[in-house]
């Protein structure tokens, strides 16, 4: 009499009828760019690149439009400032040795005003682009189509919250660096006045403390923009949410974010290094040529192709910057989704939201 209750097909570890072995678990559902399961490093990067490829129009289109508008605004602000203080600026350039404060003050005020306007406009533009990346990735994970108009409508509603998160995060991260700068400046003054013999090694020790503290805070609040968009959270709520999700997974979040930053660096070098080697060489001085009348004429004589190279270099820098401002938010948002899948069972929610029965799908834009 044979025993059929052990390792055979009818036993607890049995395989399909008529055979032996282990039945593999079915793959997790994948309605969009990532499987709805805990994500590995390869899945995070694969999902980011797949989103950039399939949703290039809403991602890069909105980013390009945003930075074009930003450029127009900055150029307009600079033009208005020059129209207001142009006479004072010409006076300063014509007689730099006889500078009077009455001429320098309007130029300084105009420069500070343009700089402040540019900083505010840059913060708003970056917040808008970051919110658009998160909103687009939401559709990419669910396997839905996303048009530029749809992404814009969702992005514009959540941009104030992302802007608040950006401002608060900038202030929090800047505090350790400002403290380090103040200590460095105080010690520098003390050494110059010879009032103390404080060791310079103390500055190095402070840097060893402040830099890791800044990185720790940056990673700790890194999920806040995603929470501000996907959970409709206010800035403070989004930052608290980020702390709860990152707690216990800080090193993993830091490591994958660092890999994303290295990927951005590699892409940037791949774009800019060929342009650096393609920079035109200066032409030898020609004594028979008429002397240059100004700086522009001098550059035209010594480096005649500098104008075309400058345009090409600016275009390459813009492409590299565009990749960075899109890729890094995608990586961070995918890590946010991964943490919610691991801790909160978000996979089931996403599967129901996608309307999928468990089969994988794709979106082709």
Q: Is the pLDDT of residue 29 over 70?
A: yes
Highest mean pLDDT among 8-17, 139-148, 194-203, 301-310: 139-148
What mean pLDDT is predicted for residues 113-130? 93
Q: Is the pLDDT of residue 6 over 50?
A: no
Rounded (5°) CA angle 154-156-159: 110
Residue 127 binned pLDDT confidence (cut-offs 50, 70, 90): very high
SS3 annotation, 336-353: HHHHHHHHHCHHHHHHHH
Around 328, how many Cα atoms within 13 Å sit in the side-chain half-sphere?
A: 22
Residues in Cβ contact with 301 at an 8 Å cutoff, skipping those fewer than 6 apart: 283, 286, 289, 292
> Residues 301, 283: contact at Cβ < 8 Å?
yes
Q: What is the pLDDT, as a whole number, of residue 277?
A: 73
What mean pLDDT is predicted for residues 301-319? 72
Q: Is the pLDDT of residue 292 over 80?
A: no
Q: What is the pLDDT, as a whole number, of residue 110?
A: 87
Residue 322 binned pLDDT confidence (cut-offs 50, 70, 90): very high
Q: What is the pLDDT, as a whole number, of residue 50?
A: 96
The per-residue pLDDT of the chain, averaged, comes to 80
User: 301 versus 344: which is more confidently predicted?
Assistant: 344
Q: Is the pLDDT of residue 11 over 60?
A: no
Q: Is the pLDDT of residue 258 over 80?
A: yes
Q: What is the pLDDT, as a whole number, of residue 25?
A: 72
CA distance 115 to 86: 17
Q: What is the pLDDT, as a whole number, of residue 302?
A: 58
First to last CA, the chain: 64
pLDDT tens string 34-55: 999 999 999 999 999 999 999 9
CA distance 109 to 106: 5
Helices (H), 200-249: 201-220, 224-230, 235-246
Q: Report in angstroms the alpha-carbon separations of 20 from 5, 9, 11, 12, 27.
A: 14, 6, 10, 12, 21
Q: Is the pLDDT of residue 99 over 60?
A: yes
């Amino acid at each position: 009499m044979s025993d059929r209750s052990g390792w055979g097909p009818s036993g607890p570890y049995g395989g399909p009828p008529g055979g032996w072995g282990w039945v593999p678990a079915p793959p997790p559902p994948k309605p969009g760019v990532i499987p709805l399961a805990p994500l590995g490093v390869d899945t995070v990067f694969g999902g980011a690149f797949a989103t950039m490829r399939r949703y290039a129009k809403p991602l890069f289109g909105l980013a390009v439009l945003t930075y074009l508008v930003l450029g127009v605004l900055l150029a307009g602000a600079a033009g208005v400032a020059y129209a207001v203080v142009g006479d004072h600026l010409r006076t300063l350039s014509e007689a730099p040795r006889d500078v009077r404060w009455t001429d320098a003050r309007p130029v300084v005020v105009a420069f500070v005003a343009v700089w402040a306007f540019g900083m505010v406009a840059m913060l708003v533009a970056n917040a808008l682009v970051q919110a658009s990346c998160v909103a687009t990735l939401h559709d990419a994970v669910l396997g839905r189509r996303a048009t530029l108009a749809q992404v814009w409508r969702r992005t514009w509603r959540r941009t104030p919250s992302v802007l608040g998160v950006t401002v608060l995060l900038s202030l929090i991260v800047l505090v350790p660096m400002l403290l380090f700068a103040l200590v460095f400046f105080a010690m520098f003054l003390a050494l110059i006045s010879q009032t103390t013999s404080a060791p310079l090694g103390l500055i190095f020790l402070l840097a060893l403390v402040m830099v890791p503290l800044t990185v720790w805070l940056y990673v700790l609040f890194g999920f806040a923009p995603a929470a501000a968009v996907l959970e409709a959270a206010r800035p403070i709520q989004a930052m608290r949410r980020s702390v709860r999700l990152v707690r216990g997974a800080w090193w993993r979040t830091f490591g994958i974010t660092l890999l994303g930053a290295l990927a951005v660096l590699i892409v940037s070098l791949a774009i800019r290094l060929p342009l650096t080697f393609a920079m035109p060489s200066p032409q030898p001085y020609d004594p028979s040529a008429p002397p240059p009348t100004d700086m522009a004429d001098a550059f035209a004589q010594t480096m005649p192709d500098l104008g075309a190279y400058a345009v090409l270099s600016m275009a390459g820098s813009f492409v590299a910057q565009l990749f960075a401002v899109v890729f890094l938010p995608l990586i961070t948002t995918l890590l946010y989704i991964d943490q919610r899948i691991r801790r909160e069972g978000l996979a089931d929610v996403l599967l129901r939201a996608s309307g999928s029965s468990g089969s994988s799908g794709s979106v082709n834009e």
